[in-house]
Structure 1
Amino acid sequence: MSSTPSTTPRGTSSGSGWAAGGTMFAGVLMVVSGVFAIIEGIVALANDEVYQHIGNYTFKFDLTTWGWIHLVVGVLVLVAGAAILKGSEAGRIAGIALTCLYVIFHFMWLPYQPLWSLIAIAIGVFVVWALCTDVQRTREP
């Protein structure tokens, strides 16, 4: 057995290829999710009767309000995803924060689109994981 210290930073594995590839994939998912959110927002703004809520729900907003929420968050997620694809550290930090917000809004959006909201939440959780676990890329010069 060798007693030489490992050069791998504590708390990270030497096989961070998954995390680095996951970060690139997370950036692509953010761009696509941003486009979908923009489309959801435009649809909600254009026609209030497209989405029907299921039952009584605490987070019951006017669909015009939801349209603006989806539109603004979609644009921000799209821009952060593009910054991640360019390798920006600020984009990665913004991506984590905006994706958390995106997941919260889709939880609140559950009564209007239950299946898509669950899919969006799952995608958001993966994106946050991928962006948080790729620490080795940010430490290299």
Structure 2
Amino acid sequence: MSQQTTTPRPPHSGGAGSAWAAGGTMFAAVLLLVDGVLGVIKGIAGIAEDEVYTRLGSYVFKFNVEAWGWIHLVVGVVLIVVGIGLFKGAGWARVMGVVLASINVILDFMWMPYTPVWALISIAISLFVIWALCTDGTRTPPRTA
């Protein structure tokens, strides 16, 4: 019987996979900033004029548009702060980015009666952000054999 030897995997050496992951993280930071700015604009529009958004059809979640405006405004500002934190390489920003993008998916799902197409686009953006921040392995410890 022959013995099979395995060599331990080297720590992330900055290869092509690492470049893709780092690029994905930077793109996620940009998307968080853009989604945050759009959330602020969406929030201001909801707060300023109640007639800006109209409900399309009947939907289970019925909220006051002004309340939604405040929610989008606050979440938008926090998304901007987290996006800036990702650009600076802050460790807290990665965790907060995943958490806030997850919350943003839920909020956009509930916001769907008002802007269905944009809500779906924003959900897709948030899902990419979650994926990019969770798959960047440049900060994970090396695997042992």
Give TM-score scaled by structure 1 length.
0.89
Q: C-alpha separation between the residues in 2 aligned to 1:41 and 1:101?
A: 16
Q: C-alpha separation between the residues in 1 aligned to 2:21 and 2:132?
A: 6
The equivalent of 1:87 in structure 2 is: 89
Which one of the candidate residues 80, 102, 108 is aligned to 1:100?
A: 102
Which one of the candidate residues 9, 14, 37 is aligned to 1:6?
A: 9
How many residue pairs get matched? 137
Q: C-alpha separation between the residues in 2 aligned to 1:119 and 1:70?
A: 16
Identity rate, percent? 53
Q: Does the C-alpha gap of structure 1 residues 67 and 91 become closer, same or farther in structure 2, counting only changes over 3 Å?
A: same
Contact 2:11 2:141 in 1 (8 A): no
1:1-141 mapped onto 2 (5 Å cutoff):
3-8=6-11, 15-137=17-139, 139=141
Larger Cα Rg: Structure 1 or Structure 2? 2
Q: Please give the per-residue CA displacement for 1:18-43, whole angstroms capped at 9, x wherever unaligned.
A: 11110000001101110000000000
Letter in 1 for 2:80: L
Q: C-alpha separation between the residues in 2 aligned to 1:131 and 1:15?
A: 14
Secondary structure at the counterpart of residue 15 of structure 1: helix
Contact 1:89 1:138 in 2 (8 A): no
Secondary structure at the counterpart of residue 17 of structure 2: coil
User: Which runs of structure 1 show a deviation greater than 6 angstroms over 4 or more consecutive aligned residues?
Assistant: none
Q: C-alpha separation between the residues in 1 aligned to 2:141 and 2:84?
A: 21
Give TM-score scaled by structure 2 length.
0.87
CA RMSD of aligned residues (A): 2.1
